[in-house]
Amino acid sequence: MAHLSSRISILLNGALDIAVVLLVMNIQHVDCHMTQGNIMLPPGTTKYLAEIFSGRCSDYTDCTLPHSFQCKTNPQRSLVNCTAALYEFLQAFADVDPCEVPDDAYDKILTEAMIHSEPDETLFWSGTMEIAINIATVTSRYTSIERTLAGYILNGLTWCGQAAHGVTPTYQTSSCPRCINGKPDASYQFWRSASRHFAAQARGDVSLLLDSTRKNGAFRNTSTFAMEELPNIDPMKVDHVYIHLVQNVSAPINTTRETCDTGSIKVLRSLLETKGLNYTCTEDDLEFMMIQCVEYQDAIPCQSLFSSATIFTSSTSVVSMTLLSLSHLITFLSR
């Protein structure tokens, strides 16, 4: 019986492999460059999308990445079937109008890819993507959505389909249309769904990284965090929310900055209290400042940090060499 089950499993996996190959081979790349007036539209589906998906999925599940912190601590990673995940992903959008992708279209791929972060490591962000990804790349203490399997696979890629007129699914390669009336496009619909899954699985202490120098407020009611993640955080699973309010060191020196007690942060605090979530807010934590100063060494906040922080030697050359090494490390790990 065990032998028969094994043979059936092999046959099913083989059938799925063939189905994915046929789906990828039969997808028509529609080269229709689109504009709206004189406005250039967003880029089309990333070239070799399916191949990139498969390669990244294998890299992550096999833990071959230099920044495999989350991969190695995820006990479910070996259960992920990259072939099945690719199949579900392509099925979700390839033959669908890019502005009509349903809310639940990506649920199967997100279930297959198993969005995961360890307790106390979930890192949400809004307006601070670069800082969040860099900090999650060089330390195992934080997991941003881009460092989960699904997030890693699709980060930086674009895609959009086209309503099928026949049996062959299609996606557009030259440009994707801008959706109107507030409708999300195919790519953004994925990130909305992924964000909901990411928030729902968060446990223990979680972190939220916000830009205190962001125009119109560090926290926005229209942000992905406010609309998708915060509503899906489970107060029964999450013990504490740590709000990290950090200035953008590359912003003009006279840029107005919010504090933990002013502006949009007061709105955020009210929402957290209403949801029954405990929180702490801090400003310009050293680790989030330093991760920026790797790239912006000449920024005034960084120069002030170097001159005042006791953790640094007075030797400018040593500081520069340390920052340069970190810069090379982040560049290498982000490939």
User: Tens digits of per-residue pLDDT, 254-308?
Assistant: 888 999 999 999 999 999 999 999 999 999 999 999 899 888 888 888 888 777 6
What gap in Å lies between CA 289 and CA 316, rounded to an integer? Answer: 18
Summarize the confidence of residues 96-103 as an average pLDDT: 92
**pLDDT of the residue at 30:** 43
Tokens 């195992």 sit on residue? 140
**pLDDT of the residue at 124:** 98
| Residues 109-156: tens digit of each pLDDT | 998 887 888 899 999 999 999 999 999 888 888 999 998 889 999 999
Residue 131 and residue 288 in contact, taking contact as beta carbons nearer than 8 Å: yes
Residues in the chain: 335
What gap in Å lies between CA 198 and CA 295, rounded to an integer? Answer: 28
Tokens 């006990």 sit on residue? 75
Q: Does residue 15 have a pLDDT over 70?
A: no
Residue 70 and residue 147 in contact, taking contact as beta carbons nearer than 8 Å: yes
What gap in Å lies between CA 7 and CA 13, rounded to an integer? Answer: 10
- With residue 208 as reference, give the H or E element that holds it: strand 204-211
pTM of the shown model: 0.80
CA distances from 142 to 124, 146, 152, 268 (A): 9, 11, 14, 21
Q: Does residue 310 have a pLDDT over 60?
A: no
What are the phi and psi torsion angles at 211 (to 5°)? -95, 115
What gap in Å lies between CA 323 and CA 61, rounded to an integer? Answer: 31
**pLDDT of the residue at 242:** 98
Distance, first Cα to last Cα, the chain:
46
**pLDDT of the residue at 207:** 98
**pLDDT of the residue at 312:** 46
Side-chain half-sphere of 204: how many Cα atoms within 13 Å?
10
What gap in Å lies between CA 218 and CA 318, rounded to an integer? Answer: 34
**pLDDT of the residue at 262:** 92
Q: Does residue 41 have a pLDDT over 70?
A: no
Q: Does residue 87 have a pLDDT over 70?
A: yes
Tell whether domain 27-333 is in CATH 3.40.50.720.
yes
Q: How many CB atoms lie within 10 A of CB 264?
A: 18
- Which residues are within 8 A (CB) of 259 and not within 5 positions of it... i.e. 6 or more apart? 212, 245, 265, 283
| Residues 174-213: tens digit of each pLDDT | 788 889 888 999 999 999 999 999 999 999 999 999 999 9
What gap in Å lies between CA 297 and CA 305, rounded to an integer? Answer: 10
**pLDDT of the residue at 315:** 41
Which tokens go with 91? Answer: 């099925």
What gap in Å lies between CA 243 and CA 232, rounded to an integer? Answer: 17
Residue 145 and residue 155 in contact, taking contact as beta carbons nearer than 8 Å: no
Residue 282 and residue 242 in contact, taking contact as beta carbons nearer than 8 Å: yes
**pLDDT of the residue at 233:** 98
Between 75 and 189, name the one with better pLDDT: 189
Q: Residue 15 burial (CB < 10 Å; 0-12/13-18/19+)? A: exposed
What gap in Å lies between CA 275 and CA 206, rounded to an integer? Answer: 15
What are the phi and psi torsion angles at 205 (to 5°)? -85, 140
